[in-house]
Structure 1
Amino acid sequence: MASNAIGPDSAIADDYLAIEARGLVKRFDGFTAVDGVDLTVPQGAVYGILGPNGAGKTTTLRMLLGIIDPDSGYRRILGAERPHDVAHAIGYLPEERGLYPAMKATEAIAFVGALRGLPMKEGRRRAHEMLEAHGLGYAADRQIRQLSKGMAQQVQILGTLVHRPRLVVFDEPFSGLDALNQQRLERMMRQLAADGTTVIFSTHVIAHAERLCDEVAIIAGGKVPFAGPVDVARDRIPAQVRLETRAADGVWRAALPADAERDGATWRFSLPETGVEPLLRALIEGEAGVLSLSIERAGLHDAFVAIAGEAAARALDEEKPEEMRR
């Protein structure tokens, strides 16, 4: 991708966090939808906001973008305290998709870009290039109503990117996409980040967050009990060791942690704080006959359960597409 800047983007400083928010609160008719959310998103990251429907993801994104104002709290986007000052450098795909049905694909992409300050003529030129690059050149002159739901969503995604924003915000971007187009979108997100664009997206599907994100914010009940690197979230749960030995007993058993559980010739236990090397030494010296030893780190799903609670995790599982629950 060429330069991410358009027009006045060059006036934006480079020494900023892409997003910085502290203590964001939003209430609707006495209901607290977002309750003290803190977020810090570095430039060039792929950042996920992970939580079940109704957790406050969309409200948080809308506050960050200036679509609605927080009742209290602080936000800074691309170095600006007023989101509208940098709107031309932001791409936004809302959860509620919407394109004019009578518009042709090329015009729809150019129109979305024009809303962010990109001239229509340049928008049409870029739209043709983008459609061709994504295998949709044949749809350039088709009306939106003539496209499948998935194709229309791809057109809207391209419209979100046509002005080459520095920050792209996707609200549940994988919803409604088939598996192939989900993979294409994941590749697109990775490429955007590789090119220096910051990507933030909300999702209720843990697999997308685990595959894509450098960092995540876990949100449940309007609160963020964790925000940070995915690896740090996973490290909330000790890694598990799976050990298979030839010997059934011996002095080496004294080296196993207290939580070690046996199933035949296989043992499972938490990785000791001292690491695996002292344990392996004791096993060898004790002639345990190590057949296999593997260390299994916790997945993001397990971390989500530990951080947000089982009720929030069940809500996530219930919202998975049917094919992901099989």
Structure 2
Amino acid sequence: MSVTGALGPAVVALGGGHGLSATLSALRLMTHRVTAVVTVADDGGSSGRLRDELGVLPPGDLRMALAALCDDSEWGRTWRDLLQHRFRSSGDLDQHAVGNLLIVALWEQLGDTVAGLDWVGRLLGARGRVLPMAAVPLAIEAEVVGPADGSGEPQRRVVHGQSAVAVTRSRIEHVRLVPPDPPACPEAVAAVEAADWVVLGPGSWFTSVLPHLLVPELAAALHRTRARRCVTLNLSPEEEGETAGMTATQHLQVLHQHAPELRIDAVVADPRAVEDVGLLVEAAASMGARLLLRQVRSGDGTPRHDPLRLAAAFRDVFDDYLGDVGTPSR
């Protein structure tokens, strides 16, 4: 599927937090038809406080996605910076992000979650749309295995809440959502069904990427859509937290375990993040995908994706250049 036309391909990006922001910062450089579908399970910080106090969707990851899509003009950058600004005080406003308050205020005024996000997008001149993955706030639970006890048996327990799962030191075996059958955002389902490409990752694997596969209506759309699917892997394993020590291959294996019937068409990885290329090629092939190795890391040495490099990698994927540069795969 060639990237043609003035608007570019219709791309849906799934995730949350900084990982989704990296994807959106790249996609906005190559297409005007971007839809971000964002996890809504955050229970910490400003988002968690607003969620608990007002019973709303946690706005933080939605805010970050909107900021990543802002217009690259003085107007867009100014409103982006305002959206991201956090108050610092000794009172109740401490660490609340202005954008979180703005989004929640629009939700209360309009009585419509999607309309409120669309209005913020218009304010930013956003190149694309931001939608929640579910219509209700969610919680994440993880089944984890810790060090063996005195009897030699590994300790199994359940960790409750996204903020707790994100920092667990135990090995995560499986994650689930509460409620287990949440209603999907209808506009998100429609966007997946109408997409040319769906991109999953990078990001916190268990708390930002996999949850999208656990919302039944959204998962069904991901399985039946005619869109092709691309997985973008993280740049380095976490030293601690939910994916501590997990290899690039293990990230794909965990994805397959949670959605065994989901076909993937392409996997994007930075060569420096791959421990064993052969194993990763095999894992990708088992899901129907080909591996694209490209330097997508920032040139300053920090473990973050460079928007221009990642955009170039996505263009190669969308144009089927999955081998050496300039060699089409089909």
TM-score by structure 1 length? 0.32
Instruction: Pick the structure with more strand per residue.
Output: 1
Q: Which has the higher contact order (CA 8 A, sep 6+)?
A: 1
